[in-house]
């Protein structure tokens, strides 16, 4: 009942909007009371903390969803759609309205943003914690601004950057007309990252660059993998 009905009831709203913390607390309270109380008229003691109820079954707990983390995971699904399908109507409308001054993944939350857009940006902030790019032709990946150095964590180059190289793309690091790395040029710009770069194999068929969600084996975002990432972020923030 808790997982299939009570937790699922607000899912549609949580897919579109960021619920206030007070509302999440009320939903959490309803779930807690349903679990421990024998009747609505008689409240009983909660013998186990909420954090134990929401911990995974693999750790011996119940695996009930944390409402705030699940809300962020569902909103990140909207952000994933904007990132991976930039030509869809939703993406074009939202980026046209809110992303005129900065790309979606780098922009700050505007003061005049709608509540729906603020919620999507919260999902975006969760998404970027495990977002990287798979290199195809290298044309749409910026060397200094996009995460592309690793298939295990979202890494981008660090270090002094010359002004003439601030908009350098990955294709500029390849030998012209081939998919081979231009080692002399890499040594002149990113010498400290040469070993990691040589492990990356650009597409031999000329495929475009694509985003990967590193928290999933399929490299595709899902609400389930996003939820586990959100709970991990909240656990790190609590320490």
37-80 pLDDT per residue, tens: 767 677 777 777 777 777 777 766 677 888 899 999 999 999 99
* Residues facing residue 181 across a β-bridge: 174
Q: What are phi and psi of 142, to 5 degrees?
A: -85, 135
Evaluate if residue 233 carries a pLDDT over 80: no
Q: What is the pLDDT of residue 236?
A: 62
Q: What is the pLDDT of residue 117?
A: 94
Q: What is the pLDDT of residue 71?
A: 94
In the three-class reduction of DSSP (H, G, I as helix; E, B as strand; rest coil), residue 186 is classed as helix
Q: What is the pLDDT of residue 173?
A: 95
- Quote the tokens at residue 106: 């780098």
H-helix or E-strand spanning residue 131:
strand 131-134
Q: What is the pLDDT of residue 238?
A: 53
137-184 pLDDT per residue, tens: 999 999 999 999 998 999 999 877 888 888 899 999 999 888 999 999
Q: Please, are residues 209 and 134 in contact by the beta-carbon 8 Å criterion? A: yes
Evaluate if residue 93 carries a pLDDT over 60: yes
Average pLDDT across the chain, whole number: 87
**Percentage of the chain surpassing pLDDT 90?**
55
Q: How confident is the model at residue 207 (pLDDT cuts 50, 70, 90)?
A: very high
Query: Could you tell me which of 172, 87, 103 has the C-alpha nearest to residue 135?
Result: 172
């Amino acid at each position: 009942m808790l997982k299939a009905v009570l937790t699922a009831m607000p899912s549609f709203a949580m897919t579109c909007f960021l619920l206030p913390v007070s509302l999440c607390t009320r939903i959490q309270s309803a779930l807690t009371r349903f679990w421990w109380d024998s009747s609505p008229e008689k409240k009983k003691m909660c013998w186990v903390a909420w954090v134990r109820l929401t911990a995974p079954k693999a750790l011996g707990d119940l695996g009930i969803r944390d409402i705030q983390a699940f809300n962020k995971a569902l909103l990140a699904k909207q952000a994933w759609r904007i990132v991976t399908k930039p030509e869809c109507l939703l993406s074009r409308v939202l980026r046209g309205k809110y992303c005129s001054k900065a790309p979606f993944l780098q922009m700050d939350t505007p003061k005049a943003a709608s509540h729906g857009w603020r919620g999507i940006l919260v999902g975006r902030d969760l998404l970027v914690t495990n977002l990287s790019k798979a290199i195809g032709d290298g044309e749409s990946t910026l060397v200094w601004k996009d995460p592309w150095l690793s298939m295990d964590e979202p890494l981008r180059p660090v270090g002094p950057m010359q002004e003439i190289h601030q908009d350098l793309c990955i294709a500029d690091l390849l030998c012209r007309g081939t998919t081979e790395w231009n080692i002399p040029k890499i040594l002149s710009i990113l010498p400290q990252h040469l070993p990691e770069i040589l492990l990356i194999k650009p597409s031999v068929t000329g495929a475009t660059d694509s985003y990967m969600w590193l928290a999933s084996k399929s490299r595709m975002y899902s609400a389930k993998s996003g939820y586990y990432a959100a709970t991990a972020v909240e656990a790190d923030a609590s320490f």
